[in-house]
Amino acid sequence: MAGIQLSGLSSGLDTASIVDSLIAVEKIPRQRMAYQQVNVEARRTGLNEIQSKLATLKSAASDLASAVTWSDTQSLTIEDEKKISAARTGGVGPGTYNFVISQMASAARNTYAYSAPPVDVEMTISSGSASKTLTIAAGSTIDEMVAQINADSETGVFAVKVGSDVVLASRTTGVASAITLDVTGTGVIPPTSTVAGRDAEYTVDGGPVQTSSTNTITNAIPGLDVTFKGLTDGAGVSVSVGGPAPDTTALKTKLKAFVTAYNDAQSLMRAKYDEQVVRNPGNNVDAAKGALKGDSTLGAVLSAMRGAVSSEVTGADSALNLLSQVGVSTGASTGSGVLDKDAISGRLKFDEKAFDEAYASNPTKVRQLLGGSGVEAFGQSFAALIDNYSAASGVLKERLAQSDAAIQAVKDGLERFDKRLEARQSYLQRQFAAMESAMSKSQSLSQYFSAQVANLSR
């Protein structure tokens, strides 16, 4: 700290150390205020983390009632996925469709002997509906010509070097993929060997043989694209399409996501609520502990959440109006001889088997319970409950604003304290400086009188 420098030359005292010691004593309350700031900031951080967890939980609850979650889909079961793959493009008539694949679609291939052109030549390559004229420079090597062809997809072919030959393969399959090579001034160059393109040949449910220029069939079954991957025997390969219904696998994934989000939020709040305060902290880590110990807001949220998942759901059928009936519960805390700590603490579990049984028994009531039927039930009510706390106008937002105000108040208090302490230190330095000055003058006067007395005695 800049200011008056004390030497203690007159008094013989280390006045600088004395001032530092006095200031150190008066500075003790400041550390308590600093720890208070750490604690309030920890409270704000904890509330912010909880708000984030609750926002995720609200989203997971809303998903349970979402129209997307409950939208109809159709299952696809393929007898041999090495032979066929399939994808729905729309609604498909439920049932089993049998495909017999006797020929796969393939691309045409031509092989040409290559020699470097002595002059620049114009070469037109055609395959199917594609056609492109390229200028091959004089002296081009076989590798250079192959690279030039492959760099231009408009030629409709791929080029491959095989020894001293160039093999052109059509980019498309089917009979129509035939390849021609026309050099200006020379005409069409005949290939040394040719493999003709072929159409796929197949039957559906024992019907007439059909053909396709590609191995992806889009018009055999309305709403279903089928891709051939290999030939079949006469028995063929079946593709089974289920009736329209919600995707239970996706639904269970949403339920698991809800349980995970619930447990994450519950665990965080419980940990903050139960964390013990360190009465006389010796560092910032200890000072931050217990910032939300016994917090009334957390207690209210925990109680409301547990009540919502264990109570009868308004809007559900009276025969199926508890989450536990679809496998979502805290589990059993008694009855097995071993206490379930998760059940006691209020963490949720998901019993997939119980859900499957409930859904198989009455899917409509399960849908109604979770809120997917258009009538407000669990998904909507739980999301609204959480929104009361986590929304922009919710309780936690207000608590965060209060924490900000408290943090600023502590900072302002520390600033005032530091100013008072600085003024106190300056005052003490001035006092001790004045004392040193007075003692110096006194010593000089004493020395003067002593000298006068000595002169009189001579």
Question: Rounded to an integer, what distance in angstroms lies between the CA atom of residue 242 and that of residue 105?
Answer: 29
pLDDT tens-digit series, residues 215-227: 999 999 999 999 9
CA-wise closest residue to 52 among 402, 394, 405, 379? 394
Band (122; pLDDT cuts 50, 70, 90) = very high
Question: Rounded to an integer, what distance in angstroms lies between the CA atom of residue 292 and that of residue 400?
Answer: 12
> Is the pLDDT at 17 greater than 70, yes or no?
yes
> Is the pLDDT at 19 greater than 90, yes or no?
no
Q: Classify 36 as helix, strand or coil.
A: helix
Q: In DSSP terms, which residues pair with 226 in a beta bridge?
A: 86, 217
Question: Rounded to an integer, what distance in angstroms lies between the CA atom of residue 23 and that of residue 15?
Answer: 12
> Is the pLDDT at 252 greater than 60, yes or no?
yes
Which of residues 225 and 396 earns the better pLDDT score? 225
> Is the pLDDT at 399 greater than 90, yes or no?
no
Q: Classify 144 as helix, strand or coil.
A: helix
Q: Which of 3-7, 194-198, 244-248, 258-262 has the lowest mean pLDDT?
A: 3-7
Global confidence as pTM: 0.68
Mean pLDDT confidence for 255-274: 96
Mean pLDDT confidence for 301-305: 95
> Is the pLDDT at 28 greater than 90, yes or no?
no
> Is the pLDDT at 128 greater than 80, yes or no?
yes
- Tokens 């502990």 belong to 289
> Is the pLDDT at 184 greater than 60, yes or no?
yes
Tokens representing 219?
Answer: 């018009």
pLDDT tens-digit series, residues 337-367: 455 666 677 899 999 999 999 999 999 999 9
High-pLDDT (> 70) share of the chain, %: 86
CA-wise closest residue to 315 among 248, 396, 239, 370? 370
- Tokens 């805290």 belong to 330
Q: In terms of C-beta density within 10 A (0-12 exposed, 13-18 middle, 19 or more buried), how is residue 103 classed?
A: middle
- What are the domain boundaries of the chain? 1-74+245-458, 75-104+200-243, 109-195
Which of residues 156 and 426 earns the better pLDDT score? 156
pLDDT tens-digit series, residues 199-211: 999 999 999 999 9
CA-wise closest residue to 74 among 246, 244, 222, 252? 244
Q: Classify 365 as helix, strand or coil.
A: helix
Band (30; pLDDT cuts 50, 70, 90) = confident
Q: In terms of C-beta density within 10 A (0-12 exposed, 13-18 middle, 19 or more buried), how is residue 142 classed?
A: middle
For 87, how many CA atoms within 13 A lie in the half-sphere containing its CB?
6
Question: Rounded to an integer, what distance in angstroms lies between the CA atom of residue 319 and that of residue 65?
Answer: 19
The pLDDT assigned to 37 comes to: 82
The pLDDT assigned to 9 comes to: 47
Mean pLDDT of the chain: 88
> Is the pLDDT at 1 greater than 50, yes or no?
no
Band (34; pLDDT cuts 50, 70, 90) = confident
pLDDT tens-digit series, residues 42-54: 888 899 999 999 9
Contact between 329 and 348 under an 8 Å Cβ cutoff? The reply is yes
Mean pLDDT confidence for 103-132: 95
Band (414; pLDDT cuts 50, 70, 90) = confident
Q: Which helix (H) or strand (E) holds 34?
A: helix 28-65
Mean pLDDT confidence for 17-23: 68
Q: Which of 84-98, 191-205, 341-355, 376-390 has the lowest mean pLDDT?
A: 341-355
High-pLDDT (> 90) share of the chain, %: 66
The pLDDT assigned to 428 comes to: 73
Question: Rounded to an integer, what distance in angstroms lies between the CA atom of residue 186 and that of residue 65?
Answer: 71
Is the torsion defined by CA of 392, 398, 401, 407 positive or negative? negative
